[in-house]
Structure 1
Amino acid sequence: MLYAATRNTLTKSLGSTHFVDQIFATAKEDVNAEAYGKHKRHLAAPKPMSAREKEIEEVKAAEREAGGRSYEGSRARQNHIGQGVFLHWSPEAEQAIEDLAKADDSRLVVLTIDPTTETLLLSSTNQINVSQLGASLPTDSPVYAFFAWPQTITSPPCREIVPIYSCPSASPVRHRMLYSSAVLFVVKEVKEFLESVGSPSTLSARKVETSDPSELDEKYLVTELGLAGSDAPTVAASGPADNGDKKPFARPRGPARKVR
């Protein structure tokens, strides 16, 4: 106990900066070259972590990689869809969005990101109706989707292009971070492109996000886009008119006073 209590005092008095390591031994065999090698390997070995700690470490590693990555963001990307930065558009993805803008049918365009080249790729484009939307997206990886929906809920009816960000819970952490950081950029690029070509279809003012693609149906879109009750009559700010039948507000009586 005496030696253990004075160890720090001794090293500080000698100059703690001169010591690069400490070895705790209970036997002479613990103090030799082989034992010191084992000690160094132990320090360099990965620390045992829980599943939650591993996920946090993966997020930190992805942040470090993203921070040190030299994007080609200093040079504006010159192509048909805007002049943005951060992600490149493949020719197939551009053409799919252009066809989506010019068509008048119900169509879904699904885009993915190639993380090695930071390029938006066309995953699929199909003519589907709203009931097929949920089954048309992957359940194990995030995607960007643009669904052209000729809906008759609003008055007048219109063909609305709905941006969808689908990120299933089973997606890798690094992919989730990459997709979430670029979703606003992609939506903005598509909006600017639709306006530049004078598309008769408009991009929805709201984007739809989901972690479970199977929940995507007409009811879900109506709720997320705020279309429910869009044609409901509004109530005047002055309140409803008095028709003479409404009873006046009666203030509730308080508790009876105790008689002493």
Structure 2
Amino acid sequence: MQSGISVSPELQTAFTTFTTTPTQFCLPVTIQSERLTPLPPLAFTSPSNDFYASLPQLAGILEPKTPIYLLLRRPATIGTGELLALTYIPSNAGVRHKTLFAATRATLARELGTEKFAATIFATDEEEVVGEEAWREREAEQKNPSGRGVGGAAREELMGEKERELEAVRRAEEEARSGTPGRDIGIGGTFQRAAGSLFASGGTGGGASGMRIQMHVDEEVKAALGGLQMGGLVQLAIEVKSEAFKVAVAESGVDATAVQSHIPDNAPRYTFYHYPDSEVVIFIYTCPSGSSIRERMLYASSRMHALAMAEEQGLKISKKIEASSPDEISAERLQEEVQPPQHTGPSRGFARPRRPGR
């Protein structure tokens, strides 16, 4: 998919300067007036051009709902010295912003010269951009693509128990986003179906935990989903102890402005909302950052089954939203999912991202 947006002469000039100035750490790029446009570059924060020490300053140019491109220099102290092209598209950004920046990502690298970049990176969370741990993981994976480190030990085998669980959560969430059930969920198991339940069975692969996730589905859940009408909202929770789907909320006549008030900010939930005066059913998966590892694992690895179960009850899911806070599920965002903005003229160009708190 191509967006029709191209690199501006100003960006070409700024990029030439960036490639020839070793003290420049980052060249931010945005989209303004249908052109890829540079923002003021950032210098390394230390005389030694320390990459990791310079990462925190990137937080000053990131906004939670504003996509941006970051061209980064990783100096020779880490490898041979290289440029990286990072695309940051927050998961709660507007649909048009997401589409435009994703569609223009390849154009940016191609017009500046793909051969000039050692890697292209995609991030949806601020910590993936400014966090040293995330960058060290990328470096380790680049050095050991098979995921094996010194002595041939798998990366998971070198982690502590908590780190293994967090890694399993990350991989399960990636699998859930891919929309393909029946594949490895990162803990040695695969999803299967059984009468009256949905479950993941543990495997015996190296580093696997053998964890078994069996999701019971009772008639109340099926009835609530099957009875969802226009303007209605059905929210499902997973009871961690019994690992069963439960109906948390089932209401009719819910205005779009009230949807976020039905979503808790301290636990994950699956919410099905039939947008008023439309045929659109929106699936909303919320997973607050403070949720326990067990909750995150259960919800991430059961997401596709919740969708499949809803479709079995006759629901046609038109849109899907993933968020970490109910505040992200505003009436404007819901309307944007149902009726995406059509105007794409120059007057809607992207302004320079503001610093957080302004």
Return the TM-score normalized by structure 1.
0.51
Rounded Cα–Cα distance in structure 2 between residues aligned with 1:76 and 1:120: 15
1:191 CA drift (Å): 2.0
Structure 1 57/85 Cα, relative in aligned 2: closer, same or farther at 3 Å?
closer
Question: Structure 2 regions of 5+ residues with no counterpart?
Answer: 1-158, 173-185, 201-214, 345-358
1:123 CA drift (Å): 0.9
2:227 alignment partner, SS class: helix
2:221 is matched with: 93
1:113 is matched with: 238
Structure number, greater radius of gyration: 1
1:215 CA drift (Å): 2.1
Out of 156, 164, 174, which is 2:284 matched to? Answer: 164
Rounded Cα–Cα distance in structure 1 between residues aligned with 2:259 and 2:324: 14
1:207 alignment partner, SS class: strand
Q: Which residue identity does 1:165 align to in structure 2? A: Y
1:178 alignment partner, SS class: helix
Rounded Cα–Cα distance in structure 2 between residues aligned with 1:203 and 1:57: 33
Rounded Cα–Cα distance in structure 2 between residues aligned with 1:61 and 1:219: 34
Task: Report Cα offsets for 1:181-239 as digits up to 9, x if no partner.
Answer: 111221122123216xxxxxx421x311110112212211234x363135x69xxxxxx
1:32 is matched with: none
- Percent identity between matched residues is 25
Out of 54, 59, 69, which is 2:166 matched to? Answer: 59
1:84 CA drift (Å): 5.5
1:95 CA drift (Å): 1.2
Residue pair 1:77, 1:85 contacting (<8 A) in 2 also:
no
Structure 1 96/226 Cα, relative in aligned 2: closer, same or farther at 3 Å?
closer
1:142 CA drift (Å): 0.2
1:30 is matched with: none
1:145 is matched with: 271
Question: Structure 1 regions of 5+ residues with no counterpart?
Answer: 1-51, 152-157, 196-201, 234-260
Matched, 1:77 2:195: yes
Rounded Cα–Cα distance in structure 1 between residues aligned with 2:165 and 2:198: 28
1:228 is matched with: 340
2:304 is matched with: 184
Rounded Cα–Cα distance in structure 2 between residues aligned with 1:125 and 1:132: 13
Greater strand share, structure number:
2
Matched, 1:134 2:260: yes
Residue pair 1:90, 1:122 contacting (<8 A) in 2 also:
no
Structure 1 173/159 Cα, relative in aligned 2: closer, same or farther at 3 Å?
same
Rounded Cα–Cα distance in structure 2 between residues aligned with 1:70 and 1:218: 37
Task: Report Cα offsets for 1:81-139 as digits up to 9, x if no partner.
Answer: xx865522122111111211xx34x1111101123332111111123211001111111
Structure 1 115/149 Cα, relative in aligned 2: closer, same or farther at 3 Å?
same
Rounded Cα–Cα distance in structure 2 between residues aligned with 1:110 and 1:60: 28
Q: Which residue identity does 1:91 align to in structure 2? A: E
2:280 alignment partner, SS class: strand
Structure 1 229/56 Cα, relative in aligned 2: closer, same or farther at 3 Å?
same
Q: Which residue identity does 2:217 align to in structure 1? A: W
Q: Which residue identity does 1:145 align to in structure 2? A: T
Matched, 1:203 2:317: yes
Structure 1 193/139 Cα, relative in aligned 2: closer, same or farther at 3 Å?
same
Structure 1 150/60 Cα, relative in aligned 2: closer, same or farther at 3 Å?
closer
Q: Which residue identity does 1:117 align to in structure 2? A: S
CA RMSD, aligned part only? 3.3
2:223 alignment partner, SS class: helix
Residue pair 2:168, 2:187 contacting (<8 A) in 1 also:
no
Residue pair 1:77, 1:88 contacting (<8 A) in 2 also:
no
Task: Report Cα offsets for 1:35-90 as digits up to 9, x if no partner.
Answer: xxxxxxxxxxxxxxxxx978525436989xx958899x4x6224xxxx86552212
Q: Which residue identity does 2:232 align to in structure 1? A: R
Residue pair 2:255, 2:276 contacting (<8 A) in 1 also:
no
